[in-house]
Amino acid sequence: MDDITGLVLAGGRGTRMGGVDKGLLPFRGLPLAQHALQRLAPQVGSCMVNANRHLERYAAFGVPVYPDSLADYAGPLAGFLCGLAHCSTPWLLTVPCDTPLFPHDLAQRLARAAAAENAEIAFAAAPEIDAQGHTRWRDQPVFCLLQASLRPSLLRYTAEGGRKIDAWARAQRCISVAFDQPGDDARAFANANTPQELHALENAR
């Protein structure tokens, strides 16, 4: 656990939420990002937040807050790069602020799989039902455990204009880890991109 630093990604534009700072929207009595932070903190040695607005409000959560070094809301990889720049442990674990029900054993399961496969990056993968009612697996690349030593590679990729997590990650030793154990919450990786989705998650039991 002490080898992993946790990072809550809260630096997006919140476009589908009407441009609001999504991480500060209320969820069961707490801001979304704080809820994610409290869920992540017991799983890792230390935590930080990546945010680009209202930094003083995020700082009130009690952990370091860092903005993107890339301009113009460059997406999750900008958050990854921010986290790696401030990570003092061998591994960084990223989680988005808008998926508040992610597994309590996320770090453990990703780390175990990475060690077993000698991987540099481990994504979570979860089942979802498509329009035809078929179950298919989908990577959740923002739920990412990655080696801190990958920072030079990510710096090069983003400096060349790259912004796709998958495209960069698949050039490394990368694995997908299926979250398909008995008792896993089917909503664990459901995210709130719209007010309606947030309301549905808040009322899920």
Look-up: residue for tokens 């990056």? Answer: 121
Q: What is the pTM of this model?
A: 0.94
Residue 68 is labelled as binding a ligand = yes
> Which pLDDT tens digit goes with each residue over 106-152?
999 999 999 999 999 999 999 876 667 777 888 999 999 999 999 99
| Cα separation, 146 vs 123, whole angstroms | 9
Across 80-181, the runs of DSSP E, i.e. the strands, are: 91-96, 121-129, 135-147, 174-178
> Which pLDDT tens digit goes with each residue over 45-96?
999 999 999 999 999 999 999 999 888 777 899 999 999 999 999 999 999 9
Residue 182 pLDDT = 84
Residue with the bigger pLDDT between 160 and 74: it is 160
Look-up: residue for tokens 């029900």? Answer: 101
Is beta strand 135-147 parallel, antiparallel or unpaired with respect to 121-129? Answer: antiparallel
CATH of the domain at 44: 3.90.550.10
Please, are residues 121 and 147 in contact by the beta-carbon 8 Å criterion?
A: yes
Q: How far is CA 59 from CA 48, 84, 136, in A?
A: 9, 19, 39
Q: Vertex 172, ends 178 and 87: CA angle to 5°? A: 85
> Which candidate, 96, 105, 103, 50, places its Cα nearest to that of 192?
96
Is beta strand 30-31 parallel, antiparallel or unpaired with respect to 26-27? Answer: antiparallel
Please, are residues 47 and 5 in contact by the beta-carbon 8 Å criterion?
A: yes
Residue 50 is labelled as binding a ligand = yes
Give Cα 115 to chain centroid, integer Å: 20
Residue 130 pLDDT = 67
Task: Report the number of distinct structural domains present in the chain.
Answer: 1
Least confident of 12-16, 39-43, 70-74, 155-159: 12-16
Q: Is 193 left (phi over 0), alpha (psi -120 to 50) or beta?
A: alpha
Residue 11 is labelled as binding a ligand = yes
Task: Give me the domain span that covers residue 146.
Answer: 4-202
